[in-house]
Structure 1
Amino acid sequence: MEQRHLGRTGLRVSRLGLGTLTWGRDTGEEAAADLLKAFWEAGGTLVDTADVYGSGEAEYLLGRLVGALVPRQDLVIATKAGSVPDPVRRADGSRGHLLAALDASLARLGTDHVDLWLVHAFDPLTPLEETLQALDLAVASGRARYAGVAGFSGWQLAKAATWQLAAPGTRTRLAGAQLEYSLLQRGVEREVLPAALDLGVGLLPSSPLGRGVLTGKYRDGTPPDSRGASELMAGFVDPYLDDDAARIVDAVATAANGLAVTPLQVALAWLRDRPGVTAPIVGARTSAQLSEALSVEPLSLPEEICQALDDVSAPVHRYPDHDWSTL
């Protein structure tokens, strides 16, 4: 699998990442082992997790598999901290919480460092410089090799990245940012992506298949074994089952038919090759799903198909982004 630099750093990662959101919850050890081994054998290196995935079970499961199944040095392990299960305070970006969470993550993962450590969410109750200091301390102590953020808006990302660049050599530049991005969710293109491109931050899109909808499996109803049929996850999928989404999914299916590939391959290839994108994070739940995602490696979409998909999925950006001089 092709390797890419994450932002303007020396860290190289595979251009597809393996997500572990369901590990320890819906994905057991045997299935997780099959996924990790197949990903590694295909040349994949970036494995993404978080301290809240499965209430810590995803990290624990990954830690049991690394070393026993896949050499630690062959993987780029990314984890996140700062998202908390508190209905009042959804994020805790305090230095104390973040550093304690990192230590707990390392214990569960069974390693002395993570390759990429991300602040999982912006905390409006903590000064941003305090949050970012936790990243500096983690890197300076060797517990993290690189750092980044997840779920930050455009201004939050720009402020954080600029703060880190203001004192080169003493602060850790942000290597990556993780946000949802797909043909069904192009909101990052308004402000987040321009900020990332300007400041040298690599984008790691989550939900690259529009929460599974871009595979086309919901075109004729909700499959009983899908997330959309799950009581826990149905609300996660529902926003992408409207008429606008259906039009985009139909366009993806038409493109797939013309290229003799699958809708998943078209949607993933389109996103993987977007400007600023380093590696979409694929949250495959089965070996078959992962195998189809990995088969995208040699696929490059023709320019006319990319343009058609751009047009049908184009988000509406008005003031202040719209070029009113053209009216």
Structure 2
Amino acid sequence: MSISVIIPCYRAAATLRRAVDSALTGAPADLEVLLVDDGSPDDTGALCDELAAADPRVRALHRANGGAGAARNTGLDAAHGDWVLFLDADDALLPGLWAALDALTTDADMILFGLTRESSGAVKPTDYLPAGFCPDLQALGSALSPLLFDTGLLAAPYPKLFRRAAIGAVRFDARLAINEDVLFNIQFLQNTSAIYCLDGVYYKQYDTEAGSLSRRLRGDLLDAERVTRPALADLLRQNGIDPAPYEAASRLRACLNQYGLLTGCKGTLSYAERRALFAEILADPAARKALRERLRNDPNRLLAVPYRIGVACNWPGLLAGYTMAKQNLL
């Protein structure tokens, strides 16, 4: 199988060489690595050209800044491989993937495999179901929910390969600053939901490094989930699955993730923005219940007291003020 690896690059001069080396190590001669410089203001563009000059399997593409989704679209439009794999410029592929794929023949249009995160360790689809071919989402059974929500294996653009012919006209929505990858996966699966689960962990996500999205304070997770939830519901109905429990899980996950960013990351959100987000989170009964349980078991009992009070009494203003004060003091 011929494969195109698409790497969107923005301010990636410190990590890009690692990502490219990981893709090329042990790779077949017909591998294509597309480095898409997304108008990066640092030395990333020059590094893309240097890496392309050093190996004929690497091509450098340059575009005006438009975000990761737009950069991936540029790569898709230029790709020649039968399969497409997305690799972030600050992540890496792990040894063994190319050998595992070399012996694989499948009618599936998505090949799903495991990843390891610096923050939480390894997870793979075969932790939840046997390796092999699943003709549709119903065949995933009880594994569908953890693959979507608990692990993110189905929701993220990695770790997986997409059959390029099955992608068709599907592209990342460049208007979205987050969840554009989730929406892309959902729309792809609306075209075809035949998945092959490959045993093994072949992707490493460096999610604790500076610059990782998981370490940035942002306030658009709830808005982004509102965009992807209807598409997810349509996909599930298309596969004969009741979407209601998955819609509830999607909303709960977004609330908990947004709460985690508000309470755990530094940033420039104003008091009013924080208060509005906390109010929206606390208005969700499932989120309040989950947060109360989480806070009861928080090991930092003293620091968690204002959080427990704010959640128990539904005081978003207290939570907003406390997170701002804590950010400035700690």
Greater share of helix? 2
Structure with more relative contact order (C-alpha pairs < 8 Å, separation 6 or more): 1
Asked if these proteins are the same fold (TM beyond 0.5), I'd say no
TM-score normalised according to structure 1 size: 0.28
Under a length normalisation based on structure 2, what TM-score does the superposition of the two structures give?
0.28
